[in-house]
Amino acid sequence: MARVVPLWVVVAFLASVACASLDAQIEKRHYRETNGSRVSAVEYTVNRAGGQINLRSTGGTTDDEIQWAPGTGTILWKETNGRVGTDLTGERKGDMIHVTVRLRGKEIDKEIHVDGAPWYQIFGPIVNDLLPADAQQREFWVVNPDDLAPHKMLVRRAGAELLAFRGSRIETNKIHFSPAGMLAGFWGADFWYRQQDGEWIYSRLPEDGGMTINELQEPGR
């Protein structure tokens, strides 16, 4: 004999689903990414829910996803590279990042030891969560997916700048990324964020022997 579910149970369930949907904040942004002759359309999705952030990027040379916990930084990282057939997962527990890489049926495990600085793996989005408004600079960790080497990095505010972008001049705040310490002068990436709303507009990041440039593709443009 079929059991009849009380109406109040159905209403409570629907209300909980509705509240969860309202609590989640999902943002999608599209960028034109170029490096030499390579041009890609990359989508970034930021989902804020339950006190954590899920960030995903698709359409570039790799598809990446991270989970970000306020006060800790990245706690989970997944990366897929269809071109070379790699599947990578990294998880942070305390001052250790455990990385597993699967390549053509083989599996590699590595434990990466770090200090208490946050782990920031996908450059560009959620920079305000990495560098709070009251901070001028901050050290953080990034893991190179090619050799799984950890690198201590520095993010700092580099002042306001009037950015020429697609025929307009936009008031932006410039953020500079570099290695921490003595190696700061050997590599650097710059990101520009619109002052009006904090939107990531444009960036230049040296990699793969060239310069990766990202430009925001806003609706109607």
Is residue 177 included in any domain, yes or no?
A: yes
Structure tokens at 188: 């650097």
Measure the CA–CA gap between 198 and 201, rounded to whole angstroms.
Answer: 9
With cut-offs at 50, 70 and 90, classify the pLDDT of residue 154.
very high
Whether residue 135 has pLDDT greater than 90: yes
Measure the CA–CA gap between 139 and 107, rounded to whole angstroms.
Answer: 31
Q: Which residues pair with 173 in a beta bridge?
A: 160, 193
Which helix (H) or strand (E) segment holds residue 50: the answer is none
Q: What confidence score (pLDDT) does residue 87 get?
A: 93
What does the H/E/C string look like for 123-173? CCCCHHHHCCCCCCEEEEEEECCCCCCEEEEEEEEEEEEEEEECCEEEEEE
Is residue 156 included in any domain, yes or no?
A: yes
Is residue 98 included in any domain, yes or no?
A: yes
Q: What confidence score (pLDDT) does residue 118 get?
A: 97
Give the total number of structural domains in the chain: 1
Determine what percent of the chain is predicted with pLDDT higher than 70. Answer: 88
Is residue 14 included in any domain, yes or no?
A: no
Whether residue 13 has pLDDT greater than 50: no
pLDDT mean over 84-93: 92
CB 172 within 8 A of CB 193: yes
Expressed as residue numbers, the domain containing 36 is: 26-216
Is residue 221 included in any domain, yes or no?
A: no
Is residue 62 included in any domain, yes or no?
A: yes
